[in-house]
């Protein structure tokens, strides 16, 4: 009898909880740390713990903003800053080296409510490029600034510049030597990013990267290209991409997922899969996306061996994953 009563109370609590949750507007967050993880064979349990710890930290930083009723823009910036500050990922600290042995960083952010956007390409002395992208969006009449000009703007906005040494990691230096010796194919796929839906129903996306190892000629990838690596529109979806940027630019990945949903009446899962697992694969574009729709659904397809990624879904469940099939 006592057991039955306990079961009844538990059932009522669950029903009540579900009811309360249904009444609350959904929030959701997804992040990635790039579609070029360590090959599965090299990923020891100890290393995996380090990656998972920083991915969880990034999720917590963004989710805390959403949970307290904050803006999705603040959430994606908070998550991306954690990943930029981690030496493990190719963005901010730990960015890869260019052909000349330097660091050139790209980043973008977009507000799905207003379609306001900001982006920077080829900055060399900015600790958190995502925050400079946000300043471009909010404090300049422009959307995209490049190179030395973007840093001049940063100084005017009170940003401190850091030396190139700040971005140094031994691992990425060794990677450059390997790529130059052609001992290893260039990794195209290091990037970090976040997408979020807040309680007010606003979507946002942000992406940040050191680009590709051994890149030359001030190459710009897809991360700072609004519509390609970064896109948000409250009408449907927020997307942050990671992969071989050239293919992602040509495929206008973020806006294509949006358009398949908004005009093609596809679901988030259908649209994200169509672009990542079909259209990109057809032209040889390796990588993936994290995406969240206006109802808080999450899709994180990737056609590479792995993608550092994680999410907090609208039920509050936290997941961190790396390889296909996990």
- The tokens for 50 are 């380090």
Contact call for residues 77 and 130 (beta carbons, < 8 A): yes
Contact call for residues 31 and 77 (beta carbons, < 8 A): no
Nearest to 115 by CA among 235, 262, 259: 235
Judged by CB under 8 A, does residue 138 bind its own copies?
Answer: no
Judged by CB under 8 A, does residue 148 bind its own copies?
Answer: yes
Residue among 31, 35, 83, 260 that touches its own copies (CB under 8 A): 260
Tell which positions 151-180 bind its own copies, by CB under 8 A: 152-153
The catalytic position among 191, 207, 230, 242 is 191
Tell which positions 81-120 bind its own copies, by CB under 8 A: 110, 115-117
The piece of 189-197, 199-207, 220-228, 305-313 that touches its own copies (CB under 8 A) is 220-228
Supply the minimum distance, in Å, between the C-beta of residue 120 and its own copies: 9
Judged by CB under 8 A, does residue 77 bind its own copies?
Answer: no
| Integer Cα distance of 44 and 80 in angstroms | 25
Paired strand residues for 206: 109, 194
SS (H, E, C) 300-322: CCECCCEEEEEEECCCCCEEEEE
Residue among 263, 317, 325, 326 that touches its own copies (CB under 8 A): 263
| Integer Cα distance of 287 and 7 in angstroms | 47
The piece of 68-76, 140-148, 297-305, 308-316 that touches its own copies (CB under 8 A) is 140-148
Q: Are strands 318-323 and 105-111 parallel, antiparallel or unpaired?
A: unpaired
Judged by CB under 8 A, does residue 218 bind its own copies?
Answer: yes
Residue among 147, 180, 321, 323 that touches its own copies (CB under 8 A): 147
Residue 191 falls in the annotated catalytic set: yes
| Integer Cα distance of 192 and 229 in angstroms | 11
Binding interface with its own copies (CB under 8 A): 110, 115-117, 121-122, 140-150, 152-153, 215-221, 225-228, 231, 245-246, 249-252, 255-256, 259-260, 263-264, 283
């Amino acid at each position: 009898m006592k057991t039955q009563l306990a079961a009844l109370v538990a059932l009522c609590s669950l029903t009540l909880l579900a009811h309360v949750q249904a009444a609350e507007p959904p929030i959701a967050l997804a992040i990635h740390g790039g579609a070029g993880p360590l090959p599965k064979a090299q990923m020891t349990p100890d290393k995996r713990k380090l990656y998972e710890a920083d991915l969880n930290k990034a999720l917590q930083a963004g989710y805390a903003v959403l949970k307290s009723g904050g803006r999705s823009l603040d959430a994606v910036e908070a998550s991306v800053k954690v990943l930029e500050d981690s030496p493990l990922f190719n963005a901010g600290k730990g960015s890869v080296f260019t052909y000349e042995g330097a660091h050139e960083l790209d980043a973008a952010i977009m507000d799905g409510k207003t379609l306001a956007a900001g982006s920077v390409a080829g900055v060399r002395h900015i600790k958190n490029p995502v925050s400079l992208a946000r300043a471009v969006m909010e404090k300049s009449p422009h959307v995209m600034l490049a190179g030395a000009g973007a840093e001049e703007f940063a100084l005017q906005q009170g940003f401190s510049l850091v030396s190139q040494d700040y971005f140094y990691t031994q691992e990425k230096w060794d990677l450059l030597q390997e790529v130059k010796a052609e001992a290893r194919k260039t990794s195209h796929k290091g990037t970090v990013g976040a997408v979020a839906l807040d309680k007010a129903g606003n979507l946002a996306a942000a992406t940040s990267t050191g680009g590709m190892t051994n890149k030359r000629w001030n190459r710009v990838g897809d991360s700072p290209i609004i519509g390609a690596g970064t896109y948000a529109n409250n009408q449907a979806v927020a997307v942050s991409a990671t992969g071989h940027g050239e293919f992602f630019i040509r495929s206008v990945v973020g806006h294509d997922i949006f358009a398949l949903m908004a005009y093609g009446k596809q679901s988030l899962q259908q649209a994200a899969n169509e672009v990542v697992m079909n259209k990109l694969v057809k032209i040889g574009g390796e990588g993936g996306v994290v995406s969240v729709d206006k109802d808080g659904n999450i899709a994180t397809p990737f056609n590479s061996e792995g993608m550092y990624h994680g999410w907090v879904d609208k039920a509050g469940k936290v997941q961190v994953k790396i390889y296909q099939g996990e």
